[in-house]
Amino acid sequence: MKKIVVIGAGHGGMQAAKVLAQGGFDVTVFEKSDIDHLSRDRWDTIETAVFDELDIPVPEGTFKDGCCSFVAPCSDKELVLDLPEEKRDWTADRRVLAAQLANAAIDAGAKFLFGKTVEKLIFDNTGVRGIVADGEEIYADLVIDASGVFSPFRASLPGRFGIEKQPDDDDVFYTWDAYMTSDPEEEYPEYYGFRMHLKYKGEKCVAWCVEESEDKCAAFIGKAGGMSKEEFDSLFAQLKKDYPFMGDEILRGGEFQNIPIRYPLSRMVADGYVAVGDSAFMTIPLIGCGVANSLRAGQILGEKIVEAGDVSLDTLWKYQVEYYQKIGAPCCLIDCIKRFLLNADNDELKYLFESDIITNKELSGILNGRFTFVSASKLINKIKSAHKIRGLFGGLFKAALNGVNAMRIAVSIPKEYNPLKVRQWQTKLENAMK
């Protein structure tokens, strides 16, 4: 029986553990926390469809999102997305979902070792052969890395594996979020349910504050490229000024976290090693939410291994191929748009919001990684039109064009594992994303 080790109880890693255990593999998950403290201590929006697709029960306490709006600096206009309730995402407690996924994997036969710290990988001349956890050497046929955006295990891989060790600064959101007390005497605007500020205070920053009850509100601040204490204090003070109903007491959360906001790893597999979830940068590059993408990735990984009955590099590559074709390629376009938005000046964003070149639904689709609202060619034509009117739209046109080109390269990923062809494709994609 093939032995598989999962490092970290991430959403994708636990979904893979369940599928693999159901398929008869010997699976052990090593997690440094206990089952009640998995994932981030917050609620998050998760695409509704993923629960039905993967037959995952909707976690207790989950509710449908309200309408949401997007705000640019120096503009009074908000782009509002008010979908019918059946099309809105779920908002779920990440820790409740994580515990549910862990229990489902345990019920399927996977073993969980909580309170276990993995220290390093074990290598031989050809690949990864296991882990060292709390000083003990544990050998395995495959190691699944679900340890996060700054995975020390991915960073320790030999250069010959061709796997990127660390993301660039602007490819990571440094975030803070918390549930705060709310002052019921302060008026709360009722015309929207959730307002996201893009480039808050003109920084490479996203922020929001939403009242969830008469005595509780949720606040979020995320900044690309790093956030010092002084920067955070300034952003937090401004958020409190903009949302006077936000109180002073932290009820839950209040921790700083790192979230990838970039296209997936151009290579996420090697002999005896595979990355999933944040370890493989499987989020939506503009907003950072990656639960649905990670769950789908774990399902794909588990199914490919069970179907093949082995953990060979050929099998692992099929996992990457399917992920890129189904999910990863559109993230390349979103990443290029993200880079433009992060570096755009306020006038560019003001015009983008006020020109009606991109509608409410289209912008929301781009932000959330859903291209059912706008095709890539339609987006290019819209930006071409804007470019003729305003020279400042040249940057957005170039970003969209680069993104469409990167998407085309991404979906042309070699269907079978061939070291030379894989390296050539990887180089083309990485060059397109520069």
Residue 207 belongs to a domain with what CATH number?
3.30.70
Strand order in the sheet with 63-64: 43-46, 90-93, 63-64
CA terminus-to-terminus distance, the chain: 43
Q: Residue 133: is its pLDDT beyond 50?
A: yes
Mean pLDDT value across residues 268-273: 98
On whether residue 81 sits in a domain, the answer given is: no
109 and 10 share one domain: yes
In terms of residue numbers, what domain contains 321? 3-62+92-165+262-327
Under 8 Å between Cβ of 214 and 225? no
Q: What percent of the chain has pLDDT over 90?
A: 60
pLDDT tens per residue across span 297-354: 999 999 999 999 999 999 999 999 999 999 999 999 889 988 888 888 777 777 777 7
Cβ-count burial 239-273 (b if 16+ within 10 Å, e if not): bbebbebbbeeeebbeeebbbbbbbbbbbbbbbbb
- pLDDT tier, 374 (very low <50, low <70, confident <90, very high otherwise): very low
Q: How far apart are CA 103 and CA 226, in angstroms?
A: 35
Residues 6+ apart with CB under 8 A from 60: 96
303 and 322 share one domain: yes
pLDDT tens per residue across span 399-426: 878 888 999 999 999 999 999 999 999 9
Cβ-count burial 167-188 (b if 16+ within 10 Å, e if not): beebbbbbbbbbbbebbeeeee
Query: Residue 270 forms beta bridges with which residues?
Result: 273
246 and 342 share one domain: no
**Which tops the pLDDT comparison, 37 or 101?**
101
When divided into structural domains, the chain yields a total of 3
Q: How far apart are CA 204 and CA 170, in angstroms?
A: 9
174 and 143 share one domain: no
**What count of Cα atoms within 13 Å lies in the side-chain half-sphere of residue 217?**
26
119 and 185 share one domain: no
Q: How far apart are CA 243 and CA 181, in angstroms?
A: 12
**Which tops the pLDDT comparison, 219 or 190?**
219
Query: Residue 383 CA to chain centroid, in angstroms?
Result: 26
288 and 341 share one domain: no
pTM, whole model, 2 decimals? Answer: 0.91
Domain stops at, among 260, 289, 311: 260
On whether residue 123 sits in a domain, the answer given is: yes
